[in-house]
Amino acid sequence: QVQLVQSGSELKKPGASVKVSCKASGYTFTNYAITWVRQAPGQGLEWMGWINTNTGDPTYAQGLTGQFVFSLDTSVSTAYLQISNLKAEDTAVYYCTRGPHSWGQGTLVTVSS
Amino acid sequence: DIQMTQSPSTLSASVGDRVTITCRASRSISSWLAWYQQKPGKAPKLLIYEASTLETGVPSRFSGSESGTEFTLTISSLQPEDSATYYCQQYNSYSGTFGKGTKLEIK
């Protein structure tokens, strides 16, 4: 069965960086894109973009700043979301998804001094 | 970018009621529309994909329909466990805009 397992919660100080991982299993990793979605506390879902797991090419949502970088390690069927120069407003749960059907459990990133 | 306008933003209904939530796309998305249910502290759960296909394991009281760029989620007979926030999402053309959500409360 398809599974996406994300890394655990993170507490970071402003200005720091964080790398969230999303490990896929149960299917051929390079056959399906991985999408990233974020949800700030008490807010709705925001589509951040996707990465082509075959070519490694990322597509970012309009308005998403250069703080956010999608990457892959296909040897371990894992996608990554790196966020640099963290700000308090980056506090959110970050989800990886494979299409609409399969979602990771979410990773809470908290940015606080 | 495709915009998704979801309404209403909040909804209060009684057990047994028929409930509808609507999403309108700013342009054609064919049938690439999903509906999710999200409960506090949980990841969204897929209910409907391709506008009207019920995800495996989802109760049949949930249904989806489309008319042009307007999409509807219907709960035929509301149950207490349906209290949640519902989101639509278009997943056409390598983008994936969400509606702003509908918070459904059981009276």
pLDDT tens by residue, A5-44: 999 999 999 999 999 999 999 999 999 999 999 999 999 9
Instruction: Indicate whether A56 pLDDT > 80.
Output: yes
| B35 to chain A, closest Cα gap in Å | 9
Calculate the alpha carbon distances from B68 to A26, A38, A96, B15, B50 in Å.
Answer: 36, 29, 30, 31, 13
Cβ separation B91–A61 shorter than 8 A: no
Residue B74's pLDDT band, with cuts at 50, 70 and 90, is: very high
For A8, other C-beta atoms within 10 Å of its C-beta total 9
Q: What is the model's pLDDT at position B95?
A: 84
Which residue, chain included where needed, has tokens 């966020």? A83
Contact A45 B101 (CB under 8 A): yes
Which residue in chain A is spatially nearest to B96 when comparing CA positions?
A: A47
Closest to A93 in 3D by CA, of A111, A108, A110, A112: A108
Q: Which of B78, B105, B86, B13 is nearest to B48 (CA)?
A: B86
CB A103 within 8 A of CB B44: yes
Q: What percent of chain A has pLDDT over 90?
A: 96
pLDDT at B4: 96
A39, β-bridge pairs: A93
Across the interface, of B34, B43, B95, the residue whose CB is closest to A100 is B34
Q: What pLDDT, on a 0 to 100 scale, did the predictor assign at position A63?
A: 86
> Given a cut of 70, is residue B93 above it in pLDDT?
no
Q: What is the rounded (10 degree) CA torsion for B49, B51, B57, B58?
A: 130
Q: What letter represents residue B15's amino acid?
A: V
pLDDT digits (tens, 9 = 90+) for B10-52: 999 999 999 999 999 999 999 999 999 999 999 999 999 999 9
**Partner residue facing A50 (CB), from B44, B94, B99:** B94
Tabulate helix, strand, coil % of chain B (nearest 5): 5, 50, 50
Please, which pLDDT band fits residue A93 given cuts at 50, 70 and 90? very high
How far is the C-alpha of A20 from the C-alpha of A18, rounded, in Å? Answer: 7
Q: Kindly report the nearest CA distance between residue B10 and chain A, in angstroms.
A: 13
How much is the pLDDT for B106?
Answer: 95
* A3/chain B closest Cα distance in angstroms: 13
Classify strands A107-111 and A58-60 as parallel, antiparallel or unpaired.
unpaired
* Amino acid sitting at position B81: E
For the cut 70, the answer to whether the pLDDT of residue B64 exceeds it is yes
